[in-house]
Amino acid sequence: MASSITGRTPSGTSSRRKFLQQIAAGGIAIGSGSVALSSCAIGGSDDDDDDSGDTAEAPEERSEENPLGIDPEEPVEIHIFDGGFGDAYATDIHQPIFSERWPDVEIDHNAAVDIAGELQTRFAAEDPPDFINNSGDGQMDPGQLVADGLLHDLTELFDAPSWDDPEVPVRDTLRAGTIESGTFDGKPYILNYTFTVFGIWYNKTLMDENGWSVPTTWDEMLDLCAEIADAGIAPWVYQGVTAPRYMNWPLLTMAAKLAGPEVLVAIDNLEEGAWGHEAVREAASAIRSLHEGGYFLDGVEGMEYRDAQGLWARGEAVFCPSGSWIENEEADAIAEDPSFELAVMPEPLLSEDSVMPLETIRATAGEPYIIPADANNPRTGMEYMRAMLSQEGARGFTEMVTSLTSVIGAADGVELAPGLSSAQEALNAAGDNIVNWFYPTWYKEMENPGIDQATGKLLRGDATVDEWVDECEAVAAEIREDDSLLKQNREL
């Protein structure tokens, strides 16, 4: 669903230069692994010291063959997060596509599990690489990077001709919402490359074997949970102590279906009382009813997220909230049972009077890629992005890592795995009825540990719905009242 996004600049903040000096002094870490980036002042910059990533002159003359004006002999340094997708998609697919057109550009390829740990000193020295896959547990806080002027504006990339057709700009090859998902203060700073379909994933094999139908209302869900439990199977898992926030995803999607996407906009905009909206309360009550009915796998509240998901993939439970990456993430567990088949269902309706249809889903671009403002060769970094966004690059990525991309039509004709095929069907069925929210990207700590901890209590039965609402409201208020944070705003 289209929206406009603007930013509100914080007052009383330190300069970007001072921020980098603080990192160099060892007082601040850029990432979730140690001291969070948001613990520092957020940077506006002095007029005579502003190198915040705005568009600079191209070193080479632009042409149809070289629309971004890159130096065809200047090396480019890239860093890929070596996580669920690995890095072979870069070395085996994207880099050969890039090098075929630019054979004299040397690619310095690097892979890392802890991106912040690898690169924070490089940022402090104002000598970051040219291209970064900023993902994983060691992800650098994207909102803070933007606020402190550390990222390059990607407007030129999206306005440039696409890799495959010079008559079509890159922005017109991308799924709706892709650019907006990486936009801060009206400018795009992040390329979100994958396109994730969220929903309730279920063990289709068990459902079919037992003649159980996919529920379309929450009452039907609870009736089915009782039947599943009577059969000696746990109806639900969630991602345990590691990530109870996964259950926020069906909660907020059901709230949006009930009352419309405006409830999500209010939450993103930090409006007072947004978490107490009646639709949000009703969705929270529905989620809590799974605990009240004893419908979670025993002990799940204390499990690590992969342990919980692995038990689901091995047939210990029927339902699991996640995004469409789960098929690739749990590929080893799924492979243990050749008969296992997974599929995704849209969240059930809380009422027949719901504003949005059953087919409504949450779907969004994800897996962020960035160009640092201080990169030595930012234009070649953007050219590498342009190669990634080619039909060949996006199709190869989907085939290798079992994930859709943000490139329109790139999965057409690709033989998709069962789960991803189900996700594609759900996306097609939803049409324009797609919802999303942005607060986890805008205000990283609002989601984790903030709302995450509150939802963990709700799922364990340690908090009532009213107590959950109060805690969520308190988390939002803390962000809202922090004048050091760059505030974002969006409209439908």
Per-residue pLDDT tens over the stretch 353-395: 999 999 999 999 999 999 999 999 999 999 999 999 999 999 9
Query: Shortest CA distance to 31 belongs to which of 150, 137, 151?
Result: 137
Number of structural domains found in the chain: 2
Per-residue pLDDT tens over the stretch 233-257: 999 999 999 999 999 999 999 999 9
Q: Same domain, yes or no, for 96 and 128?
A: yes
Rg value, the chain, Cα? 23
Taking the whole predicted model, whether its pTM rises above 0.75 is answered as: yes
Question: Do 488 and 8 meet the contact criterion of CB atoms below 8 Å apart?
Answer: yes
Domain assignment of residue 26, yes or no: no
Low-confidence ranges of the chain (pLDDT < 70): 1-4, 6-59
Q: Same domain, yes or no, for 175 and 77?
A: yes
Query: Which residues are paired to 344 by β-bridges?
Result: 201
Per-residue pLDDT tens over the stretch 417-475: 999 999 999 999 999 999 999 999 899 899 999 999 999 999 999 999 999 999 999 99
The C-alpha angle 272, 278, 282, rounded to 5 degrees, equals 130
pLDDT at residue 97, as a whole number? 98
pLDDT at residue 449, as a whole number? 94
**What's the burial of 28, exposed, middle or buried (CB within 10 Å: 0-12/13-18/19+)?**
buried
Task: Map tokens 């901890």 to a residue.
Answer: 453
Q: Same domain, yes or no, for 322 and 417?
A: no
> Where a domain ends, among 430, 458, 483?
430
The total of other beta-carbon atoms located within 10 Å of residue 310's CB is 19
Its domain, for residue 107, covers 68-196+364-430
Q: Same domain, yes or no, for 302 and 369?
A: no
Q: Same domain, yes or no, for 95 and 106?
A: yes
Domain assignment of residue 158, yes or no: yes
The C-alpha angle 241, 244, 248, rounded to 5 degrees, equals 175
Ramachandran area for residue 152 (φ above 0: left; ψ -120 to 50: alpha; else beta)? beta
> Where a domain ends, among 388, 413, 430?
430
Q: Same domain, yes or no, for 341 and 210?
A: yes
- Which residues have CB under 8 Å from 391's CB, separation 6+? 163, 164, 407, 409, 410
Question: Do 449 and 456 meet the contact criterion of CB atoms below 8 Å apart?
Answer: no
Q: Same domain, yes or no, for 285 and 338?
A: yes
CA atoms of 369 and 189, how far apart (whole Å): 9
Domain assignment of residue 36, yes or no: no
Domain assignment of residue 2, yes or no: no
Q: Same domain, yes or no, for 426 and 370?
A: yes
Question: Do 263 and 325 meet the contact criterion of CB atoms below 8 Å apart?
Answer: no
Query: Shortest CA distance to 5 belongs to which of 131, 183, 139?
Result: 183
Question: Do 474 and 454 meet the contact criterion of CB atoms below 8 Å apart?
Answer: no
Domain assignment of residue 344, yes or no: yes
CA atoms of 209 and 157, how far apart (whole Å): 50
Question: Do 376 and 108 meet the contact criterion of CB atoms below 8 Å apart?
Answer: no
pLDDT at residue 38, as a whole number? 28
CA atoms of 108 and 211, how far apart (whole Å): 54
Q: Same domain, yes or no, for 161 and 251?
A: no
pLDDT at residue 4, as a whole number? 63
Q: Same domain, yes or no, for 138 and 211?
A: no
pLDDT at residue 263, as a whole number? 98
Domain assignment of residue 387, yes or no: yes
pLDDT at residue 59, as a whole number? 66
Tokens read off for 254: 């059901």
Domain assignment of residue 32, yes or no: no
CATH at residue 416: 3.40.190.10
Q: Same domain, yes or no, for 349 and 369?
A: no
Domain assignment of residue 28, yes or no: no
Distance from chain centroid for Cα 62: 33
CA atoms of 122 and 366, how far apart (whole Å): 25
> Where a domain ends, among 395, 410, 430?
430
The C-alpha angle 359, 362, 364, rounded to 5 degrees, equals 135
**What's the burial of 214, exposed, middle or buried (CB within 10 Å: 0-12/13-18/19+)?**
middle
pLDDT at residue 49, as a whole number? 41
Q: At what angle are helices 248-259 and 278-292 packed, to 10 degrees?
A: 140
Q: Same domain, yes or no, for 392 and 477?
A: no
- Which residues have CB under 8 Å from 134's CB, separation 6+? 81, 115, 140, 142, 145, 190, 368, 369, 370
CA atoms of 186 and 366, how far apart (whole Å): 18
